[in-house]
A and B are shown apart, each in its own frame.
Chain A
Amino acid sequence: MIGFLILAVAAVAGAVLVVTARQPVHAALGLVGTLLSVAVAYIMLDAHFLAAIQVIVYAGAIMVLFLFVIMLLNVERQPGAVRWRWLRPVVYGVGLLGAVAVAATALLGTRPVPDRATVDAVLQGGIPERIGTVLFSEYLLAFHLVAVLLLTGVVAAVSLVQRSGDEPGTEAAAAAAQVDQGIGEPA
């Protein structure tokens, strides 16, 4: 239980950093912390394969892509006029209220967790073999569609950042080529 509390604090701290950090890179690093915490939660929930995938794909490939684009676009806090000044406190209030409400509802009626032996027998620690069995039987159609989706995603990403020759600017074109390489990897 103490482990879960430490985990929850780490995850929420990372998430708060995502919402409040002034530097975009700090927000991205906060998200990395949350993603790793969620991976640990997966291990506690007997989903070892998903934990490994979470670290490799999410904390690895996807976050590298994010950091690439953040550094590429050089996002800074532009001193533009803030419209809807009342929005920020209202959203914080409503979000806090909603999260607390759902969390309280969940915590009020705790059901007994299935005992160790049952979980071990059914999930078997979430090993790839068991997940593969589900993936290639129940989720066969979804699996094929994901393959098509990833192919479409790669083609779309490349065609989106492709330049037609007559456009000016060389720095942006070189940068776009870098992004192309970065985007190709996680798929």
Chain B
Amino acid sequence: MNVPTEYFVALSAVLFGLGAVGVIVRRSAILVFLSIELMLNAANLAIVAYARQWSATGGIHALEGQGAVFIVLAVAAAEVAVGLGILVAIFRYRVTTDVDQLSEVRA
């Protein structure tokens, strides 16, 4: 049950790497967004893992990591709402979401 913190951090690193690769390799803007979500989750996982490690020092401060993850979740929700709104707006003007063809964003 007591999996070392470093194992979770390693998993987080792999997920973050895959997300970063996806951001660069993927051509559809929606899939770039999905990859960004993957990176956000990897970072959250690392924060929660370190929050447990930090609990050895005692005190309420160990919970600040989990509080931070809560805030990141809320920000991610707002980001997705606005980002997908932008995507739909762009799709309406140019009928594509290929980021190679969206090198200039003008209304």
Is B5 touching A111 in the complex (CB atoms < 8 A)?
Answer: yes
Most buried by A among B44, B80, B100: B80
Is residue A92 contacting chain B, with contact meaning CB distance below 8 A?
yes
Chain A: minimal CB distance from B3 (Å): 5
With an 8 Å Cβ cutoff, the count of chain B residues facing the other chain is 79
Is residue A109 contacting chain B, with contact meaning CB distance below 8 A?
yes
Which one of A15, A123, A157 contacts B18 once the chains associate, using CB atoms below 8 Å? A15
Is B6 touching A110 in the complex (CB atoms < 8 A)?
Answer: yes
Chain A: minimal CB distance from B8 (Å): 6
Is A18 touching B88 in the complex (CB atoms < 8 A)?
Answer: no
Q: How far is the CA of A7 from the CA of B11 in the complex (A)?
A: 10
With an 8 Å Cβ cutoff, the count of chain A residues facing the other chain is 97
Q: How far is the CA of A187 from the CA of B24 in the complex (A)?
A: 29
Is B89 touching A160 in the complex (CB atoms < 8 A)?
Answer: yes
Residues of B within 8 A of A156 (CB): 81-82, 85
Chain A: minimal CB distance from B49 (Å): 6
Is B97 touching A122 in the complex (CB atoms < 8 A)?
Answer: no
Consensus secondary structure, chain A interface = helix
Q: How far is the CA of A1 from the CA of B28 in the complex (A)?
A: 37
Q: How far is the CA of A121 from the CA of B63 in the complex (A)?
A: 12
Is A146 touching B81 in the complex (CB atoms < 8 A)?
Answer: no
Is B35 touching A19 in the complex (CB atoms < 8 A)?
Answer: yes
Q: How far is the CA of A92 from the CA of B18 in the complex (A)?
A: 9
Which one of A24, A50, A88, A113 contacts B53 once the chains associate, using CB atoms below 8 Å? A113
Known: A50-B66, A62-B77. A122 touches B58 (CB 8 A): yes
The 4 closest A-B pairs by CB, nearest first: A99-B17, A153-B78, A95-B21, A114-B56
Q: List 5 A-B contacts (CB under 8 A).
A: A47-B51, A88-B25, A99-B17, A156-B81, A186-B80
Binding site for A on B (CB under 8 A): 1-11, 13-22, 24-28, 30-31, 33-35, 37-38, 41, 44-45, 48-49, 51-53, 55-56, 58-64, 66-71, 73-82, 84-89, 91-92, 96-98, 100-101
